[in-house]
């Protein structure tokens, strides 16, 4: 890792960088309430919607494994400028979308923005946190991600229901937010002390030390469970509400999706002192309860049960996500930390795309209730297995919320 500049005691550079991080998440959530309109306008099936949503992952991988590592050498700010430019571009592509291929391209560009911004902004925040509190960095970064998605979904749902030209004008808000993100980056200091623009582009390696593999797979499995829920709620939840529960109000549907992401963000900010293995031991059972409520709500056609399930799922995601992120940070030796984190997020983003596409394909063939039940059963079994493996896995050195042990 490059040396970091001292940044003084002001919190504003840290906050502005968190804003830039939240902008890309806001852009990722913005199309969610509009997908059902696209389905009708462009005449495609839920399976095609799943593929369009999953195209996002291809963009994430490209910039996360190729562009984002350049921030260690080139500096954080140049890569963050790229992330904001890609975020604005994704809004423009959505604005002019006239068919499935353009929608998929917009999702790819949105993924490029997220891949370039997420790890880079988090690394910049680590250098800008006035007290050097890395757990605070993790909490705010995760809250910015989930809060950004929740606000994007909610704003879009309100605009679609009550505003003019719902599939176009709402994306101007994303362009404006990205421009404000550029201004935010401009007024923050560079945290890489000696940027070297001569460093070549290279792909991150994936490496997991043998003695860290069990806690790694528990952490990666919990992250994958969170991302698969993210994919389901982000792509298909509005269709579940419209078809299965006859909720035709876009603002109400967006509010339901926002409950899950919003609760996950609240957990980061309000209960962030619960971390590592302890957070996972709380979050995984809560996830099972929430998934059960979600699955039961479909055949019962119960909107209150569905909303309660979303709140419980969001709480479980908040604990599980924080637990997995802080546990992986604890076990990662500094000299190969980027390789371990790359493998960790690879598992998450694969889980974002693959189950979503699978559920969308099955939904076309077996119907809403069976698809929801199948998703819930498979994910529930995975989470239960992770829980019992975790119970048998000792807390790594320095665990239960204390600073990561020196390696």
Percentage of residues in the chain having pLDDT higher than 90:
32
Least confident of 3-7, 45-49, 401-405: 401-405
Domains of the chain in start order, with CATH, are 12-189+209-391 (1.20.1250.20)
- What pLDDT was estimated at residue 331? 79
pLDDT in tens, 250-270: 888 888 889 989 999 998 888
- The span from the CA of 18 to the CA of 3, in Å, is 21
- What pLDDT was estimated at residue 201? 63
- The span from the CA of 90 to the CA of 82, in Å, is 12
Q: Which residues pair with 192 in a beta bridge?
A: 4
Stretch 364-389: mean pLDDT: 84
Of the two residues 207 and 157, the one the predictor is more confident about is: 157
Spell out the residues 6+ positions from residue 3 whose beta carbon is closer than 8 angstroms to its own.
192, 193, 194
Q: At what angle do helices 12-29 and 100-128 cross, to 10 degrees?
A: 160
- What pLDDT was estimated at residue 318? 92
- The span from the CA of 309 to the CA of 293, in Å, is 5
Residue 257: how many other CB atoms lie within 10 Å: 25
How many H helices and E strands in the chain? 15, 0
Query: Which 3-state string (H, E, C) describes 20-31?
Result: HHHHHHHHHHCC
pLDDT at 322 over 90: no
Mean pLDDT of all residues belonging to the chain: 84
What confidence category does residue 95 fall into, taking pLDDT thresholds of 50, 70 and 90?
A: very high
Tell me if residue 174 falls in helix, strand or coil: helix
Least confident of 84-93, 280-289, 293-302, 383-392: 293-302
Residue 318: how many other CB atoms lie within 10 Å: 32
Stretch 212-238: mean pLDDT: 84
What confidence category does residue 119 fall into, taking pLDDT thresholds of 50, 70 and 90?
A: confident
- What pLDDT was estimated at residue 355? 82
pLDDT at 108 over 70: yes
Of the two residues 394 and 169, the one the predictor is more confident about is: 169
- The span from the CA of 209 to the CA of 215, in Å, is 11
- The span from the CA of 262 to the CA of 146, in Å, is 7
What confidence category does residue 395 fall into, taking pLDDT thresholds of 50, 70 and 90?
A: low
* HSE-CB for 345 with a 13 A CA cutoff: 21
**What percent helix, strand, coil does the chain show, rounded to 5?**
80, 0, 20
Stretch 187-199: mean pLDDT: 75
Spell out the residues 6+ positions from residue 406 whose beta carbon is closer than 8 angstroms to its own.
none
| 8 A C-beta contact, residue 28 and residue 116 | no
Q: Tokens 């910039």 correspond to what residue?
A: 63
- What pLDDT was estimated at residue 397? 61
pLDDT at 8 over 50: yes
- What pLDDT was estimated at residue 358? 83
Tokens found for residue 280: 């996972």
């Amino acid at each position: 890792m490059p040396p970091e500049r001292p940044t003084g005691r002001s919190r504003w550079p840290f906050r502005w960088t968190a804003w830039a991080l939240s902008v890309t998440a806001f852009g990722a959530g913005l199309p969610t309430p509009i997908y059902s309109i696209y389905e009708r306008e462009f005449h495609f099936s839920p399976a095609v919607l799943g593929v369009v949503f999953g195209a996002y992952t291809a963009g994430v991988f490209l910039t996360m494994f190729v562009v984002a590592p350049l921030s260690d050498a080139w500096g954080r700010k140049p890569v963050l400028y790229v992330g904001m430019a890609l975020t604005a571009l994704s809004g423009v592509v959505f604005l002019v979308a006239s068919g499935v291929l353009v929608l998929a391209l917009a999702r790819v560009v949105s993924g490029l923005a997220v891949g370039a911004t997420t790890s880079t902004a988090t690394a910049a925040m680590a250098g800008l946190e006035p007290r050097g509190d890395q757990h605070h960095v993790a909490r705010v970064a995760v809250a910015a991600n989930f809060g950004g998605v929740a606000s994007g979904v909610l704003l879009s749902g309100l605009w679609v229901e009550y505003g003019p030209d719902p599939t176009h004008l709402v994306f101007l808000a994303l362009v404006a937010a990205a421009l404000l993100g550029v201004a935010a980056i401009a007024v923050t200091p560079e945290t890489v002390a000696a940027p070297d623009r001569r460093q070549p582009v290279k792909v991150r390696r994936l490496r997991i030390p043998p003695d860290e593999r069990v806690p790694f797979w528990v952490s990666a499995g919990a992250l994958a469970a969170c991302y698969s829920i993210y994919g389901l709620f982000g792509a298909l939840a509005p269709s579940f509400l419209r078809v299965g529960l006859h909720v035709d109000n876009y603002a109400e549907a967006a509010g339901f999706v926002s409950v899950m992401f919003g609760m996950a963000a609240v957990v980061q900010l309000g209960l962030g002192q619960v971390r590592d293995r302890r957070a996972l031991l709380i979050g995984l059972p809560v996830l099972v309860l929430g998934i059960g409520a979600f699955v039961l709500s479909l055949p019962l056609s119960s909107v209150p049960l569905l909303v309660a399930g979303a709140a419980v799922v969001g709480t479980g995601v908040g604990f599980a996500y924080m637990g997995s992120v802080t546990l992986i940070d604890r076990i990662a030796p500094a000299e190969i930390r980027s390789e371990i984190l790359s493998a960790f997020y690879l598992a998450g983003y694969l889980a974002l795309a693959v189950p979503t596409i699978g559920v969308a394909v099955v939904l076309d063939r077996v119907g809403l209730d069976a698809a929801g039940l199948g998703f819930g059963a498979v994910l529930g079994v995975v989470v239960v297995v992770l829980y019992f493996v975790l119970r048998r896995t000792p807390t790594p050195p320095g665990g239960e919320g204390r600073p990561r042990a020196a390696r």
